[in-house]
Amino acid sequence: MADIIHFHRVSHRYEGTGDVLSDVTFTLAKGEMAFLTGPSGAGKSTLLKLVALLERPTRGQIVVNGQNLAGVRPGQIPAFRQQIGVVFQNFNLLYDRSVFDNVALPLVIRGIGHDDIGRRVRAALDAVGLLGKEKVPPITLSGGEQQRVGIARAIVAKPQLLLADEPTGNLDPEMAREVMQLFQRFNEVGVSVLVATHALGLIKKMPLRVIHLERGQLTTRQSPELMEKTVDFG
């Protein structure tokens, strides 16, 4: 039970393709933060989709937060996803409403009281350094700021697990660094974090585990130095 994510011999294939993931076994401990790396098409996104139940594995077992995903029925998926915060490469904000309303959405979905929503949204925006921007439409913000809105939305409901799929893919290096530091800060207060990323230069300065995928197969590197070699293959 000490694992937040547990993959046991998981394989996945989309219709008409070969295995995108094959025989992947790994765990992410509670409170741990790790990076998921690998070249495009290595299966990083697929792995995250399996965790968030956007896809079901073709073979193998996945346990997330003590719940075997094979036993989660379609009607239970919303409740399951509410335990997870997700951050996207393209932010996936709703541009027809304010920053505040975007961040409030997960709380609204959970039926949190009105007063609590205000308090918690402001706390989340404060945590990402956007407290003064509550009322502005997200489209007026820079990419980095938009991504921070996305992160605030992901953490506002205090999930146990934070998933991020290429969160810095659309950001310049300075903003990307800030975003990664934000993830680290949330990790320090106990949130488990799994970040899929291309930004190897950025993460090698961070003393964290790297889960490396290569053509759907897994190589776990504990140290950033070793990982650098894999970049040459990629």
Q: Which is nearer to other proteins, 23 or 101 (CB)?
A: 101
158 contacts other proteins (rule: CB under 8 A):
yes
22: tokens are 């094959």
Q: Count the neighbouring beta carbons within 10 Å of the beta carbon of residue 46.
A: 24
82 contacts other proteins (rule: CB under 8 A):
yes
189 contacts other proteins (rule: CB under 8 A):
no
Q: Count the neighbouring beta carbons within 10 Å of the beta carbon of residue 41.
A: 12
Give the separation between CA 94 and CA 81, rounded to whole angstroms: 18
Give the separation between CA 63 and CA 20, rounded to whole angstroms: 19
20 contacts other proteins (rule: CB under 8 A):
no
Neighbouring residues of 211: CB distance < 8 A, sequence distance ≥ 6: 26, 34, 35, 36, 37, 218, 220
Choose, by CB under 8 A, the member of 113, 139, 174, 233 that binds other proteins: 113
84 contacts other proteins (rule: CB under 8 A):
yes
Stretch that binds other proteins, among 74-82, 136-144, 195-203, 215-223 (CB under 8 A): 74-82
Q: Shortest approach of other proteins to residue 23 CB, angstroms?
A: 24
56: tokens are 């079901």
1 contacts other proteins (rule: CB under 8 A):
yes
Beta strands in the chain (DSSP E): 3-13, 19-29, 33-37, 59-64, 67-68, 84-87, 161-165, 192-196, 209-214, 217-221
| Kind and range of the H or E run holding 229 | helix 224-233
Residues in 194-233 that interact with other proteins by CB under 8 A: none
Q: Shortest approach of other proteins to residue 26 CB, angstroms?
A: 18
Give 147: exposed, middle or buried? Use CB within 10 Å, 0-12, 13-18, 19+: buried
Choose, by CB under 8 A, the member of 114, 185, 205, 229 that binds other proteins: 114
Torsion of CA 219, 224, 229, 234, to 10 degrees: 60
Choose, by CB under 8 A, the member of 9, 68, 79, 172 that binds other proteins: 79
Q: Shortest approach of other proteins to residue 62 CB, angstroms?
A: 15
Stretch that binds other proteins, among 82-90, 140-148, 179-187, 212-220 (CB under 8 A): 82-90
Q: Shortest approach of other proteins to residue 80 CB, angstroms?
A: 8
What residues make contact with other proteins under the rule CB under 8 A?
1, 4, 30, 52, 54, 65-67, 78-84, 86, 88, 92-94, 96, 105-106, 108-114, 116, 153-154, 157-160
